[in-house]
Amino acid sequence: MPASVATAVEAAPPASPAAAPSRRWVWLAAWPVVAVLALSNEPAPLYVLWQRDLGFSSATLTLIYAFYIAGLLGTLTVAGTLSDRFGRRPVLVPGLALGIVAGALFATAHSVPALSLARLLSGIAVGAFLSAGLAAVTDVADRTDKRFAGLVASSSMVGGAAVGPLLAGVLSETLPGPSVTVFAVQIALLLAALPVVLRMPLPERGREPRAAAGGRWIRIPNAPRPHRRQLLLGLAVFAPAIAATGFVLSLGPTLLADLLHTSSRILSGATIFGLFAAATGVQFAARRLRTRTDLLAGAALTVTGMAALALAVATTSVAALLASAVLAGLGQGLTQLGALTMLSANVPTSRLAEANAALTAGGYLLAGLLPVAAGTLSDATTLTTGTVVFALAITTLVTTGAITVLRRP
């Protein structure tokens, strides 16, 4: 996330003199983000297993996913502000701890309430790292290397989201005790991230005056008033794009199992891996493009992905479903890169974590509501009807957002 405005960079508190910023620390700071974001999507391939054993419906499945969104959004109302005021570490360490607790709950869950609680805690952990973690990656970079740091921060988010479901799919199919094995490995990854969080050369923010920190601690996250237009433009295309990927995460395995007649957890995990791997790769491929190009191209890819999703359910085609997942990932990757770039290029670092939290909260709010609505509609009608209506809704929203971006300078 570049910071091309010199005054915004100069407003940041001085970094600790003990360790000079370097690209090595940028990569290291991204590792905890990858580890925690892996937890965000790791349960997805196991939903079919839990659904079979516990006997819950598609609506209940999307409701469990909504607990994750609730934990995430609730955390974003406070984590960005606390991080900007007191520093990244006081937010990141508790986030890691809650991620470990969530992993333990997933490993031993035998009821819907247990799964819901685990999903809630994982949402809190992810919320901490989507605000403070992404900002920390930028913090440890040299002020002349912010664009590289932004690319690493954004790709670490989607890269972790890609690794988790693939790991879960492979381990659950090839080793005994599917959920126990998967989340024991995940807990080990989180523990390995702790020393990095503790040693990162981060700015000390505890002595910042209250006014600089932005007032109340708990509030709806936002960008500073002069930069809210950039936030809204980013959300106009990023929110529908991430809602599209949210559908794949929550109902994709059910589509594979019930509609396309395959229950392979490896295929389910590989589908989600392909989605987020595409989102990661496209960000590196598009690193030299203009921000507007990122947003418009991402919107176009999201629309194409929704067309492929509708085709998949109409023709019961696994290939079309996989294509829709990859296209949705490409759309999220480009819109996310464009939106984060706009914010970090303009927002002072003293408010950057909060602005990142605002972008993420807006995106995940839609990503929570629409898949739940689609799951409820699918139970009331058919899975095909719910999927097609969802695809049409996303197409309408992202097209409207793209037109808005196109009309703005």
**pLDDT bucket at 400, cuts 50 / 70 / 90:** very high
As a whole number of angstroms, the distance between CA 22 and CA 140 comes to 7
pLDDT tens by residue, 5-23 = 322 333 334 444 434 456 8
Alpha-carbon radius of gyration of the chain: 20
As a whole number of angstroms, the distance between CA 325 and CA 328 comes to 5
Location of structure tokens 């085709």? 311
DSSP assignment letter at 348: -
Answer yes or no: are the C-beta atoms of 139 and 88 closer than 8 Å: yes
pLDDT tens by residue, 252-293 = 766 776 666 666 777 777 877 888 888 888 888 887 888 899
| Residue 226 vs residue 99, higher pLDDT | 99
pLDDT at residue number 6:
29
Angle between helices 318-346 and 265-285 (to 10 degrees): 40
Domain ranges of the chain: 18-204+224-407
pLDDT at residue number 151:
78
pLDDT tens by residue, 50-62 = 888 888 877 788 7
Q: What is the average per-residue pLDDT within 196-201? A: 91
pLDDT reading at 212 higher than 50: no
CA 356 distance to own-chain centroid:
11
DSSP assignment letter at 202: P
The answer to whether the predicted template modeling score (pTM) of the entire model surpasses 0.85 is no
As a whole number of angstroms, the distance between CA 389 and CA 304 comes to 15
DSSP assignment letter at 409: -
Q: What is the average per-residue pLDDT within 351-367? A: 82
Location of structure tokens 């049409």? 392
Q: DSSP string of 11-51? A: TSPPPPTTS---HHHHHHHHHHHHHHHHHHHTTGGGHHHHH
Location of structure tokens 């505890």? 206
As a whole number of angstroms, the distance between CA 121 and CA 95 comes to 9
pLDDT reading at 298 higher than 90: yes
Location of structure tokens 């989102």? 279
Class of domain 18-204+224-407: mainly alpha
